[in-house]
Chains A and B, each alone.
Chain A
Amino acid sequence: MIFLDIAVNSKPMDWFPILLQLGIAVAFAAVMIGATQLLGPKRKTSDKLVNFESGIENVGNARQPMAIKYFLVAILFVLFDVEVIFFYPYAVNFRSLGWDGFLEVLLFITLFLVGFVYIIKKGALQWEE
């Protein structure tokens, strides 16, 4: 709550140093980028337009269709990842909810596991046919 106190009791002037710092940071970055552009030597060759891939010669375009499996795993990850959000409110109220809350979270996880079993059985996570 200390942060909130500062936010509530401060005058706009108190924030001026931060604004100053921000201005200097932006100006510094702009000057540096501009100066290298102006002062640095320029050699235009076709190799420079090629994507840098750690010295290895690049193969083909990056925008190729990928196997659907990557997509599937990514989507499933998003789904299972985001459900964790519900544990935050539970963690905060862990003590006051007691055993009832625990049982309900257990039910939630069970339903979750049913979904997981379904995915495994359906073969969504199998990489080799």
Chain B
Amino acid sequence: MPIQYYLYLSLALFCTGIIGALMRRNAIVILMCIELMLNAVNLLLVAFSNHFNDASAQIFVFFIMVVAAAEVSIGLAIIVLMYRRVHSIDINILNRLKN
């Protein structure tokens, strides 16, 4: 299978993630969209790894997964913190910061 197919698939997934992150208002859904972006990258890295016959890209995928887990745990903690304060996870509430 040509590498282009993987490229198109993962760019499509990545764009889905971007559009979702920009359009949705729910913080957790935005977080999921960002995860989708990262997973699109993971897919492409694995495809390239197979293409170049180079294992380092697969190791990169491991690192991305670990960092993404760390990031998500911080992100969820922040969302919980905000939920306890304003009882909502709608990011429109963030506009309150703008004077």
User: Which chain A residues have a beta carbon within 8 Å of chain B's beta carbons?
Assistant: 7, 68, 71, 75, 78-79, 82-83, 85-86, 88-89
Interface assignment of B66: CB less than 8 Å from any CB of chain A: yes
The reply to whether B69 and A88 form a contact with Cβ atoms under 8 Å apart is no
- Grouping DSSP codes into helix (H, G, I), strand (E, B) and loop, the A interface class, with mixed when no group exceeds half, is helix
What CA separation (Å) do A3 and B65 show in the bound complex? 26
Given contacts A68-B80, A89-B59, contact A75 B73 (CB under 8 A): yes
| Partner pick for B65 among A7, A75, A82, CB 8 A cutoff | A82
Interface assignment of B94: CB less than 8 Å from any CB of chain A: no
The reply to whether B66 and A75 form a contact with Cβ atoms under 8 Å apart is no
Closest approach, in angstroms, between the C-beta of A37 and any C-beta of chain B? 31
The reply to whether A71 and B59 form a contact with Cβ atoms under 8 Å apart is no
- Grouping DSSP codes into helix (H, G, I), strand (E, B) and loop, the B interface class, with mixed when no group exceeds half, is helix
What CA separation (Å) do A75 and B69 show in the bound complex? 9
What CA separation (Å) do A71 and B80 show in the bound complex? 9
User: Which chain B residues have a beta carbon within 8 Å of chain A's beta carbons?
Assistant: 1, 59, 62, 65-66, 69-70, 72-73, 76-77, 80
| Partner pick for A75 among B1, B62, B76, CB 8 A cutoff | B76
| In the complex, residue of chain B having the shortest beta-carbon distance to the beta carbon of A93 | B55
| A to B CB contacts below 8 Å, 16 in the list | A7-B1, A71-B76, A71-B80, A75-B76, A78-B69, A78-B73, A79-B69, A79-B70, A82-B65, A82-B66, A85-B62, A85-B65, A85-B66, A86-B62, A88-B62, A89-B62
What CA separation (Å) do A88 and B58 show in the bound complex? 11
The reply to whether A78 and B62 form a contact with Cβ atoms under 8 Å apart is no
| Complex interface: chain A residues within 8 A of B59 (CB) | 89
| Complex interface: chain A residues within 8 A of B77 (CB) | 75
What CA separation (Å) do A73 and B29 show in the bound complex? 22
| In the complex, residue of chain B having the shortest beta-carbon distance to the beta carbon of A83 | B66
Closest approach, in angstroms, between the C-beta of A76 and any C-beta of chain B? 8
